[in-house]
Amino acid sequence: MGIKMREISLSVGFGKIKGLCWGEGNNKKILALHGWLDNAGSFHHLAPMLAEIGYEVIAIDFPGHGKSSHRAKGHFTHFIDFVLDVQEVLELLNWQKPILLGHSMGAAMAQMYATTNYENIEKLIMIENVGPVPSYEPGTAVSNLTESLKQWKSHSTKHKHFYPNVEKALKARVKATPMKEELLYPMVARGLKKTKKGYRWRTDKRLRLRSLFRFSEQIVQDVLSSEKPPTQLILADPITYALSYKTANQRIEKLNANETVKIKGHHHLHMDNAKEVFKVIKGFLEKKI
């Protein structure tokens, strides 16, 4: 009999934050945070292995992702707002000294929150991310704001593209996230909504709009170098698009993780190489730091 998975739902100010739970009732706790345009289903392969060794793992869908509510109509979706969601979820769960596990955008959110509350976080595990990207580049403030306002003025939250079945949607996502279809299926299925016109993505379309502002590289590196809980950084080998920017190595140095590991795989290596990722996480969790 395998590890049971169940749906969870947390009431927040704008609606519901939904998610998945594995290993319910286990004493040790992990909050798992997914990447941009992904959802809790991205931990479908990794979470059961962590539950097997005594962890309760809750993976949430960030607002506008998966089955969680979208931000209120007329509101912009700011990157930094997800840190507020991490805080609210942890307050509702009322866990003592949890572990934060994040992939891509989720890793950035986990790290930013952890620096503000490092004494109450047991450990921090970051997969394929070292802070918000892209950061602000001097001389681009006005052009960025201009483009953001232009996009906001013409944006629509209505969905126009529909798939006749889940398989067609899965094949479309495989083009953007190359891996075996069976590995990607749990995340894709969770991200789809069935309508009379066919299947469409549940994702809030505002997530694709250009941000009205960007963190400067100085701010990003300031946060990365701040006091934090024991930290593990897991990166794909060879380097992926997620860390192909010019300041990536500077950020890794500023983070100064207790352990940095490179694993063969792609950006979503916690999905397509989950066993290897689990092994290095297990080793880090067992270390006394």
DSSP conformation letters of the chain: ----EEEEEEEETTEEEEEEEESTT-SEEEEEE--TT--GGGGTTTHHHHHHTTEEEEEEPPTTSTTSPPPPTT----TTHHHHHHHHHHHHHT-SSPEEEEETHHHHHHHHHHHHSGGG-SEEEEES-SS-SSPB-TT-HHHHHHHHHHHHHH--------BSSHHHHHHHHHHHS-S-HHHHHHHHHHTEEEETTEEEE-S-GGGGSPPS---BHHHHHHHHTS--SSEEEEEEES--GGG-STTHHHHHHHH--SEEEEEES-TTHHHHTHHHHHHHHHHHHHS--
Instruction: Identify the band that residue 134 occupies on the pLDDT scale cut at 50, 70 and 90.
Output: confident
What does the pLDDT read at residue 101? 99
Position 166 in a domain: no
| Cis bond before residue 178 (omega within 30° of 0) | no
What does the pLDDT read at residue 169? 96
Task: Render pLDDT for 82-115 as a digit per residue (tens, 0 to 9).
Answer: 999 999 999 999 999 999 999 999 999 999 999 9
Q: Under a CB-based contact definition with an 8 Å cutoff, are residues 133 and 123 in contact?
A: no
Residues belonging to the chain:
289
Position 57 in a domain: yes
Task: Render pLDDT for 263-280 as a digit per residue (tens, 0 to 9).
Answer: 999 999 999 999 999 999
In sequence order, the 6+-apart residues with CB closer than 8 A to the CB of 28 are 54, 55, 56, 99
Position 128 in a domain: yes
Instruction: Identify the band that residue 1 occupies on the pLDDT scale cut at 50, 70 and 90.
Output: low
Position 130 in a domain: yes
Position 259 in a domain: yes
Position 236 in a domain: yes
**Domain range spanning residue 45?**
5-136+213-286
Task: Render pLDDT for 216-243 as a digit per residue (tens, 0 to 9).
Answer: 999 999 999 999 999 999 999 999 999 9
Task: Render pLDDT for 158-177 as a digit per residue (tens, 0 to 9).
Answer: 888 999 999 999 999 999 89
Amino acid residing at 1: M
Domain tally, the chain: 1
Instruction: Identify the band that residue 129 occupies on the pLDDT scale cut at 50, 70 and 90.
Output: very high
Q: Is residue 80 predicted with pLDDT exceeding 60? A: yes
What does the pLDDT read at residue 136? 87
Residues labelled catalytic: 104
Domain CATH for 222 = 3.40.50.1820
What does the pLDDT read at residue 263? 97
Please provide the average confidence, as pLDDT, over all residues in the chain: 95
What does the pLDDT read at residue 207? 95
Assessment of whether the complete model's pTM goes beyond 0.85: yes
Position 102 in a domain: yes
Position 208 in a domain: no
